[in-house]
Amino acid sequence: MVFSAIGFGVVAIFTLLWWINRQASGVELTAADSTVQSGNPSAQEPDLTGAITNTFDNKVQGNVVTDAQLSEKANRQTMDVLLKEIQGIKRDFDAVKNENSQLKANVGQLQAEIQHNKKAMEGENSPTPGASQVSHPPQIAILPAKGQLGSTRFTYPKKENMPSGFYVPSGTFSTAIVLEGADANASVKGETKKVAMQFKLTGLAHLPGNQKLNKLTNCFVTASAWGEIS
């Protein structure tokens, strides 16, 4: 309907222009004929009939219609592109809206679970009637997972019974028999030329502190002497 109205308007305009030009050409031809009939050759104008054609044929009308159709096609293509973009934006918006609704539902579910767990914990920790209002910290036991704890057994060699040693402090004395070394060097240089002596202990050893030791009995003692021995 829009193209028909446009085409009709264009045809009407071109028809009006053609009619006006035709009327103007008829007036000019009438004036020229009157001049020729009056016998004035200087005022005669050239005859241009057929040199200018003011006609609105089917070819011109077809070009106008084609241009209008091309313009409408371009407009339709532009509108189609815009509609597709709008539809894509709408789909994205719907997807975001659905995702937001799902997130809200998840948040509401989590809040409900938290409230439920909180009430359950409050019910467990609430004191019974008649019981003392004493709060005890929760007992926590940390145990290794099954199969992750290993044991190791150590064995030590048995200690052998060694004979206990003893210490003879300074000042200990005992009875003894001189076995050799009575001929000591009594010279001036006797200190540098000592003579070996050997004793055999025959009695208990008397230690400082009025203690006695029998482990030295029948032991031999090697010594050195110099000077006069009496």
Angle between helices 2-38 and 58-125 (to 10 degrees): 160
Please tell me whether residue 221 adopts helix, strand or coil conformation: strand
71 and 113 part of one domain:
yes
pLDDT of residue 53: 53
In a domain, 11, yes or no: yes
In a domain, 221, yes or no: yes
80 and 43 part of one domain:
no
**Cα 74 to Cα 77: distance, rounded to the nearest angstrom:** 5
**In the beta sheet, which residues pair with residue 205?**
213
pLDDT of residue 35: 46
* Domain around 91: 60-122
In a domain, 45, yes or no: yes
In a domain, 80, yes or no: yes
Q: What is the DSSP string of 66-133?
A: HHHHHHHHHHHHHHHHHHHHHHHHHHHHHHHHHHHHHHHHHHHHHHHHHHHHHHHHHHHHSPPTTS--
**In the beta sheet, which residues pair with residue 213?**
205
In a domain, 149, yes or no: no
Please tell me whether residue 176 adopts helix, strand or coil conformation: strand
Query: For the chain, which ranges sit under pLDDT 50?
Result: 2-3, 27-41
**Which H or E run includes 209?**
none
DSSP 216: T
In a domain, 138, yes or no: no
C-beta separation of 221 from 198 below 8 A: yes
Domain boundary among 122, 140, 164: 122
C-beta separation of 200 from 218 below 8 A: yes
Q: What is the DSSP string of 4-33?
A: HHHHHHHHHHHHHHHHHHHHHHHHHHHHHH
Give the CA distances from residue 196 to residues 180, 182, 226, in Å, rounded to whole numbers and listed in that order. 8, 9, 9
pLDDT of residue 117: 87
pLDDT of residue 180: 82
pLDDT of residue 186: 66
**Cα 35 to Cα 45: distance, rounded to the nearest angstrom:** 9
Output the six-digit token pair for 58.
């089917």
pLDDT of residue 41: 47
pLDDT of residue 38: 46
Total structural domains in the chain? 3
Of 137, 226, 125, give the one whose Cα is nearest residue 184: 226
C-beta separation of 52 from 22 below 8 A: no
